[in-house]
Structure 1
Amino acid sequence: MTHGDGQRTTHSSRRAFLRATGAAGAIGLAGLSTSAAAQTTTLNVLTWEEFDAPEFREPIEEKLDVRLDITKSTSSAKMFSSWNAGQYEQYDIAVPNNNYVPKMMDADLLAPVDTDVMTHWDSMYDTFREFANTQFGDGDNVYGVPIRFGWYGYGYDTREVPEHEPSYKILFEDGYVDADLDGGIIMYDNHFKTMGATALYLGYDDAFEGQRVELTEDQLQEVKQTLIDQKPRLQGYIAADPTYIQEFRQGNFLVGHSGRNEIVEMWAEGDDWLNEYISPANGAQLGKVGFSPSVNPETSEHLTEDENELYGALEPERLEDFIPFKAVENEEAWIEAWEDVKTA
């Protein structure tokens, strides 16, 4: 690999840099073999769009004396596909959702994280440090570092949709609220997020209790059929957070399956007409930048009162019933069912 100055870089020099600075823990879930130019160290990061915001990127570059080369992705599935196809050699750090870290571990694509240089390791919520040691570990090493988290639920336009008992029923059942929602609902264009939410709606909570999410064949078929039956109510499927926000503001849908960060971003920018139900049972998302709480509650000391209200620290007890994203058992069957839903 070469940089703009034409001088060839080496994986070993980048690995040494990450090992010495703990940069993998600073901005990523997965620290991989790396790269440093002769004069300026460049770290290649595969991550989400928000990570390229100057107010986030520039302080890291200044503190670590590096240049961050950000490649943006819209889903963990796409990150894994490109990574597994050989592009891991192009990147130093990846920031997928936590359920994809075990997949990368199984594919032997990750290098261990040196927790000795992780000065904030012990400051994390116990829940997320436990995730790192179990979901990201093999008994000897850990291969990822949680950085942020959030919940999935749904948002709705309170100008058109009346207040109601919060439930995923609103996404699937006609008449749950006194509003015409046909063609007014959006879901994620992502098999895990949308099928996972549907499984929780159907009461398949037990499927999320093991190390992997595991639906029986009958349950998987019921999830698929429920999503097919839902399609007349849909405006469509959305992948990127900015698209969700833009279309919500334009009134293109009334109820949207969403992560907490999209809703908080709209609150912070003055969309006070929006309301959302967020439950620990709806699943967890890691690695979102901006408008999501940090796994380190000490960050609340650097936030204003209003910012803490939106995305500051919370009582650890609220995490006790947290259902985290997990790798899926027999994911190929999920993907096949998802494709059947989208083409139905």
Structure 2
Amino acid sequence: MQINKTPLVLSLAGLMLAGQVQAQDNKLYLFNWTEYMDPAIIEAFEEQHDVDVVESYFNSNPEMFAKLQAGGTSQYDIIVPSNYYIPRLIETGLVQELDKSKLDNLDNVMEQFVDPSYDPGSRYSAPYQWGVTGVIYNTETFPDAPKSWSLLFDSETNSEYPFGLIGDGQVTVGSACAYLGHGYDCASTDAWREAAQLLLDTKGRETFSGFTNGTPALQQLARGVTHASMSYNGDFLFYKEENPETFSEMAFMIPDEGAEMWIDAMMIPRDAPNPEMAHKFIDFILDAEVGAQLSNYNYYASPNKAARPHLDEVLAKPPVLPSEADLERLQFTPTLKGEQLQVFQQLWSEVKSR
């Protein structure tokens, strides 16, 4: 019986494996930020490639990174991290190199994104969208709001209205550094400690509502739970379009002390179930008309030079495209590693826990 049983088991196992592969060929697993993809683009891609796109969402880079470390490299085909997390993903071996021979539309990428500092030669990433992190506030509550981080960090400027900060440690600490005069891209321990103390003082105020990432921060503003919060320029315009009445009195501000400019990029996890389809998806997004459709939907700036003729007018002016003066104040979040990263993580843990 054993002689006959072994081939049968192997045969069944082979059939099961074949079924899994066939099922996988018909799916693409996308791990993206919330409210960041036009459903019509997904539908068009599904129809063109006869595939089902399964979307999952994250609200912060740390959340995305933690899920990949916990086995997510085999659960997703495409991830969309921000620039300062890209080196960390590469160095920890969580992503794979792109096969550029499968990306016909790569030539559509703007020159400044072709050989970025966070991924020299764009070996692992293709740009998705770029934007700015600033302050969204209620203009009725703050009719004379200064163009400054003081709206969040100074108890005299805002003494009675609830406000929120982003839960991404580097972005929030960088903003506190900028307010203190150290520059948004501060990377010294002394500057971090001063910024951490400012954040602890800020947390201690009765009007501090907490650390909130992504879409929930906009929802709190819409409901009046907060009257000012750190958030993103594209999210602001998206919610203003979707909720014209509740967001009619909201404004987006880039503080004069400096703020974050970021780039989100598409990457393929190391053990992606369907890397072939992942390359097709990246190339699809890099198409001129699709790239414009994406920006027209989520109100973020496109890194696609071929998309320019197809972009809506609102995307060619602030807050999507910052003024020249504001652009000079924007900086990338620095990439941390080794002992420097450990020191920062310890400081941030103290801020969150105390």
TM-score by length of 2: 0.74
Query: 1:305 Cα deviation (Å)?
Result: 3.1
CA contact (8 A) 1:45 1:92 kept: yes
Aligned to 1:114: 99
Give the greater-gyration-radius structure (CA).
2
Helix, strand or coil for the counterpart of 1:161? Answer: coil
CA contact (8 A) 1:283 1:325 kept: yes
| Cα distance change of structure 1 residues 298 and 195 upon mapping to structure 2, 3 Å threshold | same
CA contact (8 A) 1:36 1:43 kept: no
Query: 1:84 Cα deviation (Å)?
Result: 2.1
- What is the identity, as a one-letter code, of the residue corresponding to 1:136? D
Q: Does 1:219 align with 2:191?
A: yes
- What is the identity, as a one-letter code, of the residue corresponding to 2:57? K
Helix, strand or coil for the counterpart of 1:70? Answer: strand
Aligned to 2:276: none
- What is the identity, as a one-letter code, of the residue corresponding to 1:335? Q
Query: 1:308 Cα deviation (Å)?
Result: 5.0
2:50 pairs, out of 58, 61, 65, with 65
| Cα distance change of structure 1 residues 7 and 93 upon mapping to structure 2, 3 Å threshold | farther
Query: 1:228 Cα deviation (Å)?
Result: 0.8
2:212 pairs, out of 235, 239, 242, with 239
Q: What CA distance in whole angstroms lies between the structure 1 residues aligned with 2:112 and 2:330?
A: 9
| Cα distance change of structure 1 residues 292 and 306 upon mapping to structure 2, 3 Å threshold | closer
Query: 1:36 Cα deviation (Å)?
Result: 5.6
Q: Does 1:155 align with 2:136?
A: yes
Q: What CA distance in whole angstroms lies between the structure 2 residues aligned with 1:234 and 1:119?
A: 51
Most deviating of 326-335 and 226-235: 326-335
Give the unaligned 5+ runs of structure 2. 1-14, 266-293
Aligned to 1:193: 171
Aligned to 1:298: 306
CA contact (8 A) 2:34 2:59 kept: yes
Q: What CA distance in whole angstroms lies between the structure 1 residues aligned with 2:319 and 2:45?
A: 20
Aligned to 1:23: none
Most deviating of 332-341 and 35-44: 35-44
| Cα distance change of structure 1 residues 50 and 8 upon mapping to structure 2, 3 Å threshold | farther
CA RMSD of aligned residues (A): 3.1
- What is the identity, as a one-letter code, of the residue corresponding to 2:200? I
- What is the identity, as a one-letter code, of the residue corresponding to 1:74? N
Helix, strand or coil for the counterpart of 2:126? Answer: coil
Helix, strand or coil for the counterpart of 2:95? Answer: coil
CA contact (8 A) 1:186 1:235 kept: yes
Describe how 1:1-344 pairs up with structure 2 within 5 A: 8=17, 37=22, 40-51=25-36, 54-131=39-116, 134-137=117-120, 142-176=123-157, 180-205=158-183, 208=185, 214-216=187-189, 218-231=190-203, 232=205, 234-269=207-242, 270=244, 271-278=247-254, 281-287=258-264, 290-306=298-314, 308-309=316-317, 322-329=330-337, 330-344=340-354
Q: What CA distance in whole angstroms lies between the structure 2 residues aligned with 1:43 and 1:66?
A: 7
Q: What CA distance in whole angstroms lies between the structure 2 residues aligned with 1:314 and 1:121?
A: 25
Q: What CA distance in whole angstroms lies between the structure 1 residues aligned with 2:254 and 2:238?
A: 15
- What is the identity, as a one-letter code, of the residue corresponding to 2:228? V
CA contact (8 A) 1:152 1:257 kept: yes
Query: 1:142 Cα deviation (Å)?
Result: 1.0
Aligned to 1:26: none
Helix, strand or coil for the counterpart of 1:147? Answer: strand
| Cα distance change of structure 1 residues 8 and 215 upon mapping to structure 2, 3 Å threshold | farther
Q: What CA distance in whole angstroms lies between the structure 2 residues aligned with 1:260 and 1:229?
A: 27
CA contact (8 A) 2:30 2:54 kept: yes
CA contact (8 A) 2:254 2:326 kept: no
Q: What CA distance in whole angstroms lies between the structure 1 residues aligned with 2:318 and 2:48?
A: 27
Q: What CA distance in whole angstroms lies between the structure 2 residues aligned with 1:225 and 1:314?
A: 30
CA contact (8 A) 2:315 2:321 kept: no
Q: What CA distance in whole angstroms lies between the structure 1 residues aligned with 2:264 and 2:90?
A: 17
| Cα distance change of structure 1 residues 239 and 299 upon mapping to structure 2, 3 Å threshold | farther
CA contact (8 A) 2:59 2:215 kept: no
- What is the identity, as a one-letter code, of the residue corresponding to 1:59? A
CA contact (8 A) 2:164 2:212 kept: no
| Cα distance change of structure 1 residues 241 and 39 upon mapping to structure 2, 3 Å threshold | closer
Query: 1:311 Cα deviation (Å)?
Result: 7.6
CA contact (8 A) 1:181 1:233 kept: no
Aligned to 2:288: none
Query: 1:319 Cα deviation (Å)?
Result: 5.4
- What is the identity, as a one-letter code, of the residue corresponding to 1:339? S
- What is the identity, as a one-letter code, of the residue corresponding to 2:252? E
Asked which structure has the greater RCO (Cα within 8 Å, sep 6+), the reply is 2
Helix, strand or coil for the counterpart of 1:108? Answer: coil
Query: 1:325 Cα deviation (Å)?
Result: 2.9
Query: 1:324 Cα deviation (Å)?
Result: 1.8
| Cα distance change of structure 1 residues 316 and 300 upon mapping to structure 2, 3 Å threshold | farther
Helix, strand or coil for the counterpart of 2:216? Answer: helix
